[in-house]
């Protein structure tokens, strides 16, 4: 980073030179890529980590990073396409998973358009075009055929690089999950669990979670054993540099319900995983599909209430459903009802036994709800409470990234 910073200083000193050759423009493109990527990615880190890095000489200025990458992407250097792809990754993935879900789809579209015209059959270009369509909420009818065709063409166009296939399977799985087309979602989850080695624990858990959503007859036709799949999850988790992957730890904790001789079934696990990946921010662009999800959640809520013998997980399940219900109501514009759902979760804090992540995440969502209504002081109070008052819960680091983006 210090080398890139010195190069940036050299570049600024030579800005006034009238004689600029090809070497200069290539140097400029490299500097803008380096400075832009460093600043943008470091700006995502929570405040306490960023302050430490700034103390030892790093900087994480989001606006500077975006500005440098945009300038680099508009140039003619060899790094222009790398600047473009860095911005595309940020807008279509990073800002969604580690941010509040407010992706700049318009900029992503305009960045990709010239490359889509120049390389209409490029697998990576097709993949991003389809991803952008997904983020727009184009899941079905005429548009679904278009973007799913793009994914299939992406698979056909690149037979040697299997990772591209797996990315497409992941996206297709979620597209069908958003539509609650569980058999098709299962098809791609199954392919991932068999072919990809990136995170076997996540893939097997996701596959089992989707199978939980199927009617009994459809489940039997798949020939799958849900209990057996959930029991595999713990043995598939991996460690990187001695640390567990947070999403895998979450999956392992949820799958523990099936470890005993009398398993307690998970409630709408596929929708819970949708929330983990911030999928409600995507499906929320489609009121019809959001309404369908709300119907599914309310049906499960009624089933849970009608049970006579409540398990030890009962309040955890009730609160999880309230959180998901609140998210649907928020995206449907029924903000008072959403607030009521979130408040119920917070009020039930002492009754939650295992899914302790629910309260801090709900405080965060309630804060975003107030922010949406321009009640800034209230929003900050709830988001800060989520940040400062809770420790050692599932997905803690992911929530801190989202809080940093929200504040």
Q: How many other C-beta atoms can be found within 10 angstroms of the C-beta atom of residue 329?
A: 22
Of the two residues 376 and 122, the one the predictor is more confident about is 376
Note whether 368 and 348 are within 8 A (CB).
Answer: no
Of the two residues 346 and 197, the one the predictor is more confident about is 346
Note whether 347 and 325 are within 8 A (CB).
Answer: no
Note whether 97 and 277 are within 8 A (CB).
Answer: yes
Residue 93, judged by CB atoms within 10 A of its CB (0-12, 13-18, 19+), counts as: middle
**pLDDT per residue as tens digits for the range 141-181:** 434 534 555 565 565 655 566 777 788 889 889 999 999 99
pLDDT at 129: 86
Distance CA 279, CA 77 (A): 36
> Confidence band (pLDDT; 50, 70, 90) for 53?
low
| CATH topology (fold) of 272-407 | 1.25.40
pLDDT exceeds 80 at position 79: yes
Q: Which residue has the tokens 């470890």?
A: 259
pLDDT exceeds 80 at position 8: no
Q: Would you say the pTM of this structure is higher than 0.85? A: yes
Show me where the domains of the chain are located.
1-97, 199-266, 272-407
**pLDDT per residue as tens digits for the range 267-278:** 999 999 999 999
pLDDT at 393: 92
CA distances from 362 to 32, 60, 165, 270, 271 (A): 39, 28, 35, 18, 15
- Of the chain, the end-to-end C-alpha distance in Å amounts to 26
β-bridge partners, 239: 244
pLDDT exceeds 50 at position 66: yes
**pLDDT per residue as tens digits for the range 230-262:** 999 999 988 877 778 889 999 999 999 999 888
Those residues with Cβ within 8 angstroms of residue 105's Cβ, 6 or more apart along the chain or in another chain: 91, 132, 135, 136
β-bridge partners, 243: 240
Note whether 47 and 58 are within 8 A (CB).
Answer: no
Lowest mean pLDDT among 15-19, 282-286, 344-348: 15-19
pLDDT at 321: 97
pLDDT at 26: 77
């Amino acid at each position: 980073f210090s080398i890139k910073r010195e190069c940036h200083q050299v570049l600024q000193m030579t800005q006034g030179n009238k004689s600029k050759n090809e070497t200069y423009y290539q140097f400029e493109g490299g500097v803008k890529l380096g400075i832009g990527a460093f600043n943008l990615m470091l700006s995502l880190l929570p405040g306490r980590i960023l302050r430490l890095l700034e103390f030892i000489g790093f900087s994480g200025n989001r606006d500077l990073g975006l500005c440098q990458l945009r300038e680099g992407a508009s140039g003619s250097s060899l790094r222009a396409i790398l600047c473009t792809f860095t911005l595309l990754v940020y807008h279509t993935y990073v800002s969604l998973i580690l941010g509040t879900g407010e992706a700049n789809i318009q900029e992503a579209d305009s960045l990709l358009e010239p490359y889509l015209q120049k390389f209409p059959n490029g697998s990576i270009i097709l993949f991003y075009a389809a991803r952008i369509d997904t983020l727009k909420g184009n899941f079905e009818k005429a548009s679904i055929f278009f973007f799913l065709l793009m994914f299939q063409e992406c698979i056909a166009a690149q037979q040697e690089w299997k990772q591209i296939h797996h990315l497409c399977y992941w996206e297709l799985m979620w597209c069908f999950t958003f539509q609650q087309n569980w058999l098709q979602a299962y098809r791609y989850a199954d392919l991932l669990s068999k072919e990809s080695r990136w995170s076997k624990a996540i893939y097997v858990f996701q596959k089992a979670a989707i199978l939980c959503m199927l009617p009994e007859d459809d489940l039997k036709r798949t020939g799958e054993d849900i209990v057996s799949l959930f029991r595999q999850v713990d043995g598939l988790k991996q460690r990187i540099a001695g640390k567990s992957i947070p999403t895998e730890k979450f999956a392992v904790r949820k799958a523990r319900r099936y470890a005993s001789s009398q398993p307690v079934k998970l409630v709408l696990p596929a929708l819970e995983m949708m929330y983990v990946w911030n999928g409600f921010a995507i499906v929320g662009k489609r009121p019809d599909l959001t309404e369908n999800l709300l119907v599914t959640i309310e049906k499960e809520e009624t089933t849970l209430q009608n049970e006579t013998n409540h398990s030890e997980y009962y309040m955890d399940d009730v609160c999880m459903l309230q959180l998901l219900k609140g998210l649907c109501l928020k995206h449907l514009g029924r903000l008072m009802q959403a607030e009521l759902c979130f408040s119920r979760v917070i009020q039930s804090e002492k009754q939650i036994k295992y899914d302790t992540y629910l309260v801090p995440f709900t405080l965060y969502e309630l804060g975003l709800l107030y922010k949406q209504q321009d009640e800034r002081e209230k929003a900050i109070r709830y988001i800060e409470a989520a940040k400062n008052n809770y420790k050692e819960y599932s997905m803690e680091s992911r929530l801190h990234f989202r809080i940093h983006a929200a504040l």
